[in-house]
Amino acid sequence: MKLRDIVVKKAVLPQLAATKRDDAIRELVNALVEAGKITAELRDTFVKSIIARENRGSTGFGHGVAVPHAKTTSVKQLVVAVGVSKAGVDFNSLDKQPVHSIFLLLSPEDRPEEHLDAMEAIFGNLSRDQFRRFMRQADSVEDIMTLLEEADQKQPTSR
């Protein structure tokens, strides 16, 4: 699975305003609403669902990255919003460090294999130090999209 196929360009925020976890989640969900990928009526439902998932265990995996996510019957296709925070967001990460790159994932509940493929594509890149560094330095939507495209070209094709 390619990042460019699942990341919603209109939901890429190179200057995330939020400094707190719940606000960052809300900001990224709002970006998906504004991009027309989810309805405004479901905004609060998605935010609550993702925060509930975070409260069961942080998706801040260390090295300045987090992948908040939810599976839901309310989306028909997998969508990802991306936020970059220069200041950092406290995500209660495993390494207790602030998060700078956030990939928020919503996936259809009835297609768990797609969810796993997306998580694999995201983690495969976020586990690379160079990718994380470049994400943190990205200043524009175009910078981030170019980085995602380059990452896709380096990924071996699967399934």
Domains along the chain?
3-153 (3.40.930.10)
pLDDT digits (tens, 9 = 90+) for 85-95: 999 999 999 89
pLDDT, position 31: 98
To the query of whether residue 100 is one of the catalytic residues in this protein, the response is: no
Dmax over CA atoms of the chain, in Å, equals 38
Task: Look up residue 20 and give its DSSP letter.
Answer: B
Please, how many CA atoms are within 13 Å of residue 44, restricted to the half-sphere of its CB? Answer: 1
pLDDT, position 159: 45
What's the CA gap between 39 and 33, in Å, rounded?
6
Closest by CA position to 16, among listed 76, 94, 106, 90: 90
Which of 63, 69, 100, 115 is labelled catalytic?
69
pLDDT digits (tens, 9 = 90+) for 98-145: 999 999 999 999 999 999 999 999 999 999 999 999 999 999 999 999
Residues 6 or more apart from 143 whose CB is under 8 A from it? 14, 137
What's the CA gap between 70 and 55, in Å, rounded?
13
Closest by CA position to 122, among listed 110, 139, 105, 108: 105
pLDDT, position 156: 60
pLDDT digits (tens, 9 = 90+) for 18-72: 999 999 999 999 999 999 999 999 999 999 999 999 999 989 989 999 999 999 9
